[in-house]
């Protein structure tokens, strides 16, 4: 039976292997604000800003301007502002997918859309999309969703609720990108935060926690809301934002390379598969030079011999069970390319155990 082409990239982790991924600095800020909307047509408007100097201030309310500037203050690559006269997330979902294929998302100023945003992020994750979000919905249990729920005080002593601090966190998370983790990140726009009762318990339950430090307010640990682990496709390492950022980067880049260069353009044979695999391995080498992957690790992709062998056996070719690995590699299977890789993503230093012995 004929089917549409599919590209499936699955990240698994064995007991001794890290296989994960990350992102590119786009913050997508959703606002209930129709100030700049035209009198007719859709009231969902999208604008992109790189700096505060780009903002068209007459197009937003004072509160919306404040939210945008908070996000930009942490220097993400860009802030995509999607605004409209609605607090229903469904009104914004199509616009998100139209303007960006990935990015960090937050809905500022309203509790109403938080549950729907978290649900949408989880469904997108299951479909292989790499959208991520920060919000106040507890219990999302998703590697692409960050849960936050603390009140704080800004540098002028004004109270900042959790919902109103989301634009700043959005800017922080998008700004950290794959270049650094957000653990111990200094929240420069806060003078204090209301401490959680038990930091360890909060982190264990999948909550991003801020704490008061002698030098200001800092993020305790850069974690997402994932708490249900299976030791394979949902592991302890995938509870960390920077790990998932690297996973998302690799997934999107390899998927794009295959779709834009190879899919439909090259006949499926061993030599052409090796062209693709060679490109992937060179890409891994580049990531190792940029300290996304560990340069001390092999970081190698190759034809998945066992999966390709099983595919042939599944068509009735029982003799494939006795083929050598080299023959299996040479026997490209119909229209499918089976590739496996083993990579190690670098994480930032967080924990220190320093033993001092005095004689």
44 and 159 together in one domain: yes
Residue 215 lies in a domain: yes
- The confidence score (pLDDT) of residue 22 equals 34
80 and 142 together in one domain: yes
In angstroms, the CA 170 to CA 145 distance is: 12
31 and 162 together in one domain: yes
62 and 131 together in one domain: yes
- The confidence score (pLDDT) of residue 9 equals 57
| DSSP 8-state secondary structure symbol assigned to residue 339 | E
- The confidence score (pLDDT) of residue 201 equals 97
Per-residue pLDDT of the chain (359 residues; tens, 9 = 90+): 556 666 655 545 443 332 223 336 999 999 999 887 766 556 899 999 999 999 999 999 999 999 999 999 999 999 999 999 999 999 999 999 999 999 999 999 999 999 999 999 999 999 999 999 999 999 999 999 999 999 999 999 999 999 999 999 999 999 998 888 999 999 999 999 999 999 999 999 999 999 999 999 999 999 999 999 998 889 999 999 999 999 999 999 999 889 988 999 999 999 999 999 999 999 999 999 989 999 999 999 999 999 999 999 999 999 999 999 999 999 999 999 999 999 999 998 888 889 999 98
Residue 240 lies in a domain: no
Token code pair at residue 107: 């809905």
Token code pair at residue 242: 């920077």
SS3 state at 330? helix
What long-range pairs does 179-184 form, CB within 8 A, spacing at least 24?
180/242, 180/348, 181/222, 181/240, 181/241, 181/242, 181/347, 181/348, 181/350, 182/219, 182/222, 182/241, 182/242, 183/219, 183/220, 183/221, 183/222, 183/348, 183/350, 184/218, 184/219, 184/220, 184/350
- The confidence score (pLDDT) of residue 40 equals 53
Q: How many CB atoms lie within 10 A of CB 353?
A: 4
- The confidence score (pLDDT) of residue 336 equals 96
59 and 193 together in one domain: yes
- The confidence score (pLDDT) of residue 185 equals 96
- The confidence score (pLDDT) of residue 260 equals 87
In angstroms, the CA 34 to CA 56 distance is: 14
In angstroms, the CA 355 to CA 332 distance is: 55
115 and 261 together in one domain: no
In angstroms, the CA 167 to CA 105 distance is: 9
Q: How many domains does the chain have?
A: 2
- The confidence score (pLDDT) of residue 178 equals 84
Least Cα distance to 102 among 34, 18, 205, 178 occurs for 178
Q: What are phi and psi of 161, to 5 degrees?
A: -75, 165
- The confidence score (pLDDT) of residue 16 equals 31
**Cβ atoms of 130 and 252 closer than 8 Å:** yes
Least Cα distance to 252 among 90, 80, 110, 132 occurs for 132
Residue 356 lies in a domain: no
- The confidence score (pLDDT) of residue 112 equals 96
Residue 358 lies in a domain: no
In angstroms, the CA 290 to CA 322 distance is: 42
313 and 257 together in one domain: yes
Residue 14 lies in a domain: no
Token code pair at residue 215: 């030098």
Residue 20 lies in a domain: no
- The confidence score (pLDDT) of residue 179 equals 81
Residue 18 lies in a domain: no
Per the structure, the complete domain to which residue 99 belongs is given by 26-177+183-219
Sign of CA dihedral 19, 136, 24, 276: positive
137 and 40 together in one domain: yes
31 and 99 together in one domain: yes
Last residue of a domain, one of 198, 219, 240: 219
Q: What are phi and psi of 193, to 5 degrees?
A: -140, 150
Least Cα distance to 11 among 251, 292, 242, 282 occurs for 251
- The confidence score (pLDDT) of residue 200 equals 96
Token code pair at residue 99: 């303007």
59 and 145 together in one domain: yes
Q: How many CB atoms lie within 10 A of CB 300?
A: 14
**Cβ atoms of 97 and 74 closer than 8 Å:** no
191 and 289 together in one domain: no
Residue 326 lies in a domain: yes
85 and 124 together in one domain: yes
């Amino acid at each position: 039976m004929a089917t549409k082409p599919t590209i499936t990239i699955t990240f698994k982790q064995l007991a001794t292997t890290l296989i994960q991924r990350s992102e590119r600095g786009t913050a997508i800020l959703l606002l209930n604000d129709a100030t700049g909307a035209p009198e007719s047509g859709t009231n969902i408007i999208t604008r992109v800003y790189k700096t505060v100097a780009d903002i068209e201030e007459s197009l937003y309310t004072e509160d919306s301007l404040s939210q945008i500037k908070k996000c930009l203050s942490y220097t993400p690559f860009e802030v995509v502002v999607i605004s409209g006269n609605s607090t229903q997330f469904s009104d914004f979902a199509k616009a998100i997918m139209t303007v960006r294929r990935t990015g960090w998302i937050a809905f500022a100023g309203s509790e109403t859309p938080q549950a729907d945003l978290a649900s949408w992020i989880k469904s997108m994750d299951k479909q292989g999309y790499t959208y991520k979000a920060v919000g106040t919905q507890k219990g999302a249990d998703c590697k692409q969703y960050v849960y936050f729920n603390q009140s704080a005080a800004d540098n002028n002593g004004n109270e900042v609720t959790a919902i109103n601090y989301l634009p700043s966190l959005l800017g922080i998370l998008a700004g950290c990108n794959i270049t650094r983790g957000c653990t111990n990140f200094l929240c420069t726009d806060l003078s204090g935060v209301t401490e959680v009762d038990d930091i360890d318990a909060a982190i264990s339950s999948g909550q991003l926690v801020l704490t008061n430090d002698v030098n200001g307010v800092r993020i305790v640990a850069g974690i997402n809301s994932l708490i249900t682990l299976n030791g394979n496709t949902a592991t302890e390492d995938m509870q960390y934002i920077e790990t998932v950022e690297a996973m998302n980067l690799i997934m999107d880049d390899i998927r794009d390379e295959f779709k834009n260069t190879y899919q439909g353009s090259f006949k499926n044979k061993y030599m052409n598969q090796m062209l693709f695999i060679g490109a992937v391995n060179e890409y891994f080498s580049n990531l190792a030079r940029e300290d996304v992957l560990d340069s001390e690790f092999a970081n190698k992709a190759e034809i998945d011999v066992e999966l390709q062998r099983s595919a042939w056996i599944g068509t009735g070719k029982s003799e494939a069970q006795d083929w050598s690995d080299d023959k299996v590699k040479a026997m490209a299977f119909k229209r499918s390319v089976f590739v496996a890789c083993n990579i190690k993503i670098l994480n930032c230093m967080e924990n220190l155990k320093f033993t001092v012995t005095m004689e």
